[in-house]
Amino acid sequence: MTSSTMGLPPGARVAFVADQFADAPRTPDEPYPGGAELTDAAALEAAPVAVSCLRSAELEPEQVGEFDLLILGNTEALGAKQVQALAAHGRHVLFEHDLRLCRWRGNFPSAPDRMHRLGATCTCPHPVAHALFDSALGAIFLTESQRRHYARNPYYKGVPYAVLGSSLMNRAFFSEVDRLHAEAKEKQERREHRTTVCYSGSASKGFEEARAFCREHGEDPFVIRHLRPEEVLEVLAHSRNFVYLPQSFEAAGRMPLEARFLGAHVITNRVTGIAQEPWWQLDDEAALEHVRRAPERFWQHVARFYQRPARAGRPAETLAALTIKSAARRPLASALAAGRAALEASPLYPNLGLAAQTLERAMAHHERALAPLNSLELL
């Protein structure tokens, strides 16, 4: 086999590192696993080799060298010593769930400046994340839309990458989809909920906009809130329409995918990452097959990156430098965004030429993305 088709060696020592996994003890604020944790679980379910799961906070720097490959999911809890060890080892692949570079993780309405809030463009410096990107074998993005958000960050240098096209779904989801498809189609007529939306306290998720859309069409939607993942799927399977209108950044969009393949008519916009993927335009059978193969594609990409040598030629960061950068990154990003906000509010800003034009273009592009896609009528 060539390196492009070779899988992971059976004896490969692989670790998956994340802040927490789907089986983590829950809290009142986070009673159920999030989309990132469910995607990680689907990846692990499809793993072709044994994988050690390690929480970010528990990863010992001396452990890093014990693995031939480390897959890094959401790892906000990594400290300077861990990052230094990972960068020196150079055998990690980044699995991007949201916007690792951003002080607000892509929740742009929380930022003070218009470039974030209205232009949906991250300009945050993140030296610790860049230390991981600069030393990575590669990065796996959920969608091309998500990757482009990284590329627009002025500090991002790029990295060898792959794009999955969607979140990862587990085998139980596809079994449920297959079961529903096997049932009589007339059951669509008896779906309990005519319209459904999902509650979120985050302005970026567009809950209020989705509910307003339903009410403009004379519907009082059923609101998904505080439900277990399996209960969410049950609601979607009994919904005729699912309305999802995120307002700033949505790396992929797990729920629109679930809703579509569980038989609901989905109304969304181009902010939703999967809505810009070619497979979203395919018929349901072809689209489902594409998504069904996503976990397999994930490991194919991992295997391809595994064959690469560790990236060399970059000076190693000292522990002192990484420690300072780790402590300063949030205050620095906040200060820069506040400074940008003050500049944007200045009467001089329209006269700054390229800077003002860049903001105007970003805002115009995002305004177009907010518009719901075709097929706006509720079924």
**Structure confidence at residue 185 (pLDDT):** 58
Locate 99 and state its tokens. Answer: 């916007």
Structural domain tally of the chain? 1
Rounded to 10 deg, the angle between the 319-345 and 80-89 helix axes is 110
**Structure confidence at residue 4 (pLDDT):** 42
Tell whether 305 is covered by a domain: yes
pLDDT surpasses 70 at 103: yes
**Structure confidence at residue 267 (pLDDT):** 96
Mean pLDDT across 60-77: 97
Chain mean position to CA 13: 26
pLDDT surpasses 80 at 5: no
Tell whether 117 is covered by a domain: yes
pLDDT surpasses 60 at 189: no
Tell whether 350 is covered by a domain: no
Q: What are phi and psi of 163, to 5 degrees?
A: -120, 125
Range of lowest pLDDT (19-28, 186-195, 364-373): 186-195
**Structure confidence at residue 325 (pLDDT):** 80
Locate 283 and state its tokens. Answer: 């018929």
**Structure confidence at residue 315 (pLDDT):** 64
Tell whether 99 is covered by a domain: yes
pLDDT surpasses 90 at 23: no
Sheet holding 138-141, edge to edge: 51-55, 14-18, 69-72, 92-96, 138-141, 161-163
Question: CB within 8 A of 92, min separation 6: which ones?
Answer: 69, 70, 71, 72, 86, 132, 135, 136, 137
pTM of the model: 0.93
Question: Domain residues for 138?
Answer: 14-167+298-332
Tell whether 59 is covered by a domain: yes
Tell whether 152 is covered by a domain: yes
The C-alpha atoms of residue 300 and residue 271 are separated, in whole angstroms, by: 28
Contact indicator for 289, 296 with CB cutoff of 8 Å: no
88: left (phi over 0), alpha (psi -120 to 50) or beta: alpha
pLDDT surpasses 80 at 365: yes
Locate 317 and state its tokens. Answer: 């960061």
Tell whether 178 is covered by a domain: no
The C-alpha atoms of residue 99 and residue 101 are separated, in whole angstroms, by: 6
Locate 315 and state its tokens. Answer: 């000076």
Tell whether 274 is covered by a domain: no
**pLDDT single digits (tens) 214-269:** 999 999 999 999 899 999 999 999 999 999 999 999 999 999 999 999 999 999 99
